[in-house]
A and B are shown apart, each in its own frame.
Chain A
Amino acid sequence: MKELVILSGKGGTGKTSLTAAFASIAESRVLCDADVDAADLHLLMDPDVRERTDFMGGNIAKIDAEKCTMCGQCIDLCRFDAISDDFVVDKINCEGCGVCVDLCPEQAIDFPVVKCGEWYISDTRFGAMVHARLGIAEENSGKLVTLVRQEAKKIAEKKQMELIITDGPPGVGCPVIASVGGATALLVVTEPTVSGLHDMLRLLELAAHFKVPCMVCVNKFDLNVEQTAAIEMLAAEKGLPFVGKIPFDPEFVKSMVLGKTILEYRQEGELSSTVKKIWERIRENL
Chain B
Amino acid sequence: MIISVASGKGGTGKTTVATNMAVSLGAGVQLLDCDVEEPNAHLFVSPVIEQSETVFTAVPEIDKDKCTLCRKCSDICRFNVIAIAGKTILTFPELCHSCGGCIAVCPEGAITEVGRELGLLEQGVFDAGDFVHGRMRIGEAMSPPLIKKVRERIKPGKINIIDAPPGTSCPVITAMKDTDFVLMVTEPTPFGLHDLKLAVEAVKLLGIPHGLVINRSDMGNDDVWQYARTENLPILMEIPFDRAIAEAYSRGHLMVELMPEWKGKFQELFSRIEKLSKAWENRN
Contacts and interface: CB of A to CB of B under 8 A. Distances in A.
Contact of A13 (B11, B44, B249): B11
A92 B190 contact: no
B101 A102 contact: yes
Given A79-B99, A174-B143, A192-B250, A136 B138 contact: no
Interface in A68-105: 77, 79-80, 92, 95-99, 102-103
Contacts of A142: 141
B48 interface: no
Given A11-B10, A13-B11, A99 B169 contact: no
A35 B143 CA distance: 17
Given A98-B76, A137-B168, A138-B170, A173 B100 contact: no
A141 B198 CA distance: 15
A199 B219 CA distance: 25
Interface stretch (A22-30, A164-172, A262-270, A278-286): A164-172
Contacts of B141: 142, 173-174, 177
A195 B15 contact: yes
B138 A138 contact: no
Interface size on B, as a range, is: 35 or more
A235 B11 CA distance: 23
Given A173-B171, A195-B40, A103 B246 contact: no
B136 A173 contact: yes
B190 A99 contact: no
A196 to B, nearest CB: 8
Contacts of A136: 168, 198, 201-202, 205
Contact of A92 (B143, B205, B221): B205
Contact of A173 (B43, B140, B194): B140
Interface in B1-59: 8-12, 15, 37-38, 40, 43-44
A171 B12 contact: no
Nearest to B100: A79
B76 A99 contact: yes
B114 to A, nearest CB: 16
B190 A169 contact: no
B261 to A, nearest CB: 22
Contacts of A195: 15, 38, 40, 43
A134 B138 contact: no
B102 to A, nearest CB: 9
B247 A223 contact: yes
Contact of B11 (A12, A173, A224, A248): A12
Given A195-B43, A257-B190, A170 B10 contact: yes
A256 B190 contact: yes
Interface in B105-153: 105, 136, 138-143
Interface in A140-196: 141-142, 169-174, 176-177, 191-196
B90 interface: no
Contacts of B229: none
A174 B138 contact: no
Contacts of B101: 77, 97-99, 102-103
Nearest to A208: B138
B211 interface: no
Given A11-B10, A37-B168, A99-B100, A227 B250 contact: yes
Contact of B220 (A37, A196, A202, A253): A253
A244 interface: no
A92 B206 contact: yes
Contacts of B198: 38, 136
A257 B189 contact: yes
9 contacts: A92-B205, A137-B202, A170-B11, A194-B40, A194-B43, A195-B38, A195-B40, A248-B243, A253-B220
Interface of B: 8-12, 15, 37-38, 40, 43-44, 76, 78-79, 97-101, 104-105, 136, 138-143, 165-171, 173, 177, 189-191, 194-195, 198, 201-202, 205-206, 219-221, 243, 246-247, 249-252
Which are the 9 A-B pairs with shortest beta-carbon distances? A11-B10, A12-B11, A97-B99, A171-B37, A224-B250, A37-B167, A99-B101, A193-B250, A195-B40
Given A136-B168, A174-B143, A194-B44, 17 more contacts: A10-B40, A12-B11, A37-B168, A38-B195, A40-B194, A43-B190, A92-B206, A95-B97, A99-B100, A137-B169, A137-B170, A170-B10, A170-B11, A170-B38, A173-B136, A256-B189, A256-B191
